[in-house]
Amino acid sequence: RTSRCLIPATGYYEWATSLGKYPPKQPFYISNEAGAQLSIAGIWSSWQSEKGEVIQSAAIITREAVGELATIHSRMPVFMPIERWSYWLDPNMRDINRLIKMMDTPEPDAGLIAQPVSSRVNVVANNGAELIIPIELGAPETLF
């Protein structure tokens, strides 16, 4: 309840599931249409492994997807508006009902755009800005 964080992102990838109108495993890059930074609600922990190493970990909080995002996947991150940051990060805020309400925004997908991108993003060795360039959906691409 007190180890909450905000995870900054310019966007994130989501892969189409068989739920929607897109081919399964089609990657999409989801970002703010105006290019604004996203602030994703998260939780974190710090713990010690059996080897004595301190491990820092974080997890993104998700919710049921809405709007166009629901045609890609059944879940989406919880985005935290700037006016709620201080309350979300306050370790003294322990009212679970208020925290849950804080994550519920009227239009959780407002300003987001989901664009299909190359399946090259599926290969861990691939890295670079070209991976978020939108593509036209059509014939399947090769991975190499």
Distance CA(4)–CA(114), nearest Å, equals 27
Across-strand partners of 5?
Answer: 42
133 to 30, 66, 84, 103, 108: CA distances (angstroms): 11, 24, 32, 30, 24
Instruction: Residue 33: give its domain's CATH number.
Output: 3.90.1680.10
pLDDT at res. 27: 95
- Asked if residue 78 belongs to a domain, the reply is yes
pLDDT by residue, tens only, the chain of 144 residues: 569 999 999 999 999 876 567 777 899 999 999 999 999 999 999 999 999 999 999 999 999 998 889 889 999 999 999 999 999 999 999 998 998 888 887 777 889 999 999 999 999 999 999 999 999 986 555 555
Distance CA(84)–CA(135), nearest Å, equals 35
pLDDT at res. 18: 66
User: Side chain identity at 77, as an amino acid letter?
Assistant: P
- Asked if residue 141 belongs to a domain, the reply is no
pLDDT at res. 5: 97
Domain containing residue 70: 4-132
- Asked if residue 137 belongs to a domain, the reply is no
Start-to-end CA span in the chain (Å): 44
- Total number of domains in the chain: 1
